[in-house]
Amino acid sequence: MNQTKKFYSYLTLISMLLSYSIVLKARRILPEQRKITCVLFSLTAEQVFKKSNPIEIHQFLREKRFEKLFNSSCTIIECRSWRSLISKRNNVVFDATLTMAMIYLRKTRISVIFKTAIDFSKSIVSENSHVSPKFVKNEIIDPSIWILISQTLETQIDLLATQSWMNRSGFIHSIKCLPAFKKTMLWYSTNSEPIHRIGEVHMERGLQIQSLNCFDAHLVWNSYQADFLESLGVHGVFVVGSIIFQPRIEIDLENSFFSILFTDVTPTSDESYFYNSHMSISTLQTIVDVLDEIKVESGLDIRLYLKPKRSYSAFHSKEYVNLVKSLNKSKKVILLDPNSNLYKAVSQSNFLLSTPYTSTNFIASDLNIPSAYFCQNFDPWILEDTHHGFEVIISRTRLKSLLLTTLNQM
């Protein structure tokens, strides 16, 4: 019982600090510009504070290619991380909804907010058997606040989100008819097209088409991605180029050695996914073995760099992570910081290999760096011979041949 009381005491204290921080953030944002023009949801702490920073994200959103698609002149970024509470950047907030409420609903009585939430919840709750505190916050309180905010606005606000916001699809669906908000999805990854198993009915898993059409616009990397979404009945798709929330940093390649960059999708402990440890270990080990053969035969200095998609954690496959660390220790692989600038890492390479069908090949193409997908032991999954113009290599012999051809062209 004492442990329970202590837990709830800490929880209460944390909630108070969180509320106090949100109030302070809102007060600091308010004097800068009373009219917020844009809210960016669903970035992770790694994206905001490690892979990039708030200043670079703002510079990214203000690139010329976006100027007719949304107004980012005064943007707040939501990041569900404790770092958001202590960040000196006033435009990074833990909870965008509560922050906006502090700015726009300062004179609105709490009773009005509760009444709106109660009225709004009647139809929502009746359709859901499981109602948790998280559900109440995301699907009832948040939409109610945005409905009230919409009634106070004189100009439209852009709401930007990434794919990870799809788990809050009820929220975006509930405000889809409010003209005060223009809702735009930023597709920061190109691997939205599913990889199917042998004999599997081609269901487009993970994509909720009805929820996607709650957005007014979808910004994607290339025409292939646009064609895929439009074939599913998704409306308002615009091709804008790469979307990785990082500045484009290019380094002139002046290596005295042959540099290969491998970008993976770090497998989890769940072997049921395409990106499983068995496939990932076999793929990486084969690349290392082929390069060892080429080094012996040619006598050339060839270096393999590996850039993980994210920082390693307990969630990832121990076997795969241990292999990477072992190869890095033996200097067969040079492990890059997962948060390093992707443009810079690709531009410093002579050749790019990646796991099907990740986004880095499109960046390599944009930087005129040759690339291909490579995969081993992927049964029972189906891979194409080429994917959107990039060769998909599944043969050790073909990998060696392609790398030797590239080496001879240097």
Please give the model's pTM, rounded to 2 decimal places: 0.84
**pLDDT at residue number 354:** 95
How many CB atoms neighbour CB 132 within 10 A? 10
Contact partners, residue 223, CB within 8 Å, separation at least 6: 239
Task: Spell out the domain ranges in the chain.
Answer: 22-239, 258-408
Phi, psi angle pair for 291, to nearest 5°: -65, -35
Tens place of pLDDT for every residue, the chain, 410 residues?
455 555 545 555 555 555 556 666 666 665 544 588 999 998 888 889 988 888 999 999 999 999 999 999 999 999 888 788 777 777 888 888 888 888 888 777 666 666 666 666 665 555 555 666 677 777 778 888 888 888 888 889 999 998 777 666 667 767 777 889 999 999 987 766 778 888 765 555 445 667 788 889 999 999 999 998 998 888 999 999 999 998 888 887 777 789 999 998 899 888 888 899 999 999 999 999 999 999 999 888 999 999 998 888 888 999 999 999 999 999 999 999 999 999 999 999 999 999 999 999 999 999 999 999 999 988 888 899 999 999 999 999 999 999 999 888 87
Contact partners, residue 243, CB within 8 Å, separation at least 6: 186, 187, 188, 219, 220, 221
- Strand 371-374 versus strand 390-393 pairing type: parallel
Of 357, 270, 352, the residue nearest 306 (C-alpha): 352
**pLDDT at residue number 147:** 86
Give dist(CA 333, CA 323) in Å, integer: 10
Give dist(CA 207, CA 107) in Å, integer: 40
For the domain spanning 258-408, the CATH number is 3.40.50.2000
Q: Tokens standing for 356?
A: 């099907």
- CATH class, range 22-239: alpha beta
Q: For the sheet with 75-78, list strands across it.
A: 92-93, 75-78, 38-40, 157-162, 181-186, 217-220, 237-239
DSSP of 117-164? HHHHHHHHHHT-S---HHHHIIIIIHHHHHHHHHTT-SS-EEEEEEGG
Give dist(CA 375, CA 287) in Å, integer: 10
Give dist(CA 326, CA 57) in Å, integer: 35
Distance of CA 345 to the CA centre of its chain: 18
How many CB atoms neighbour CB 362 within 10 A? 21
Burial of 272 (0-12, 13-18, 19+ CB in 10 A): exposed
Same topology, domains 22-239 and 258-408? Answer is: yes
Helix axes 318-329, 277-298, angle to 10 degrees: 20
Of 115, 113, 161, 117, the residue nearest 139 (C-alpha): 117
Angle (nearest 5°) at CA 126 between 121 and 130: 95
Give 333's Cβ-side CA count (13 Å radius).
25
Peptide bond into 338 cis (omega under 30): no
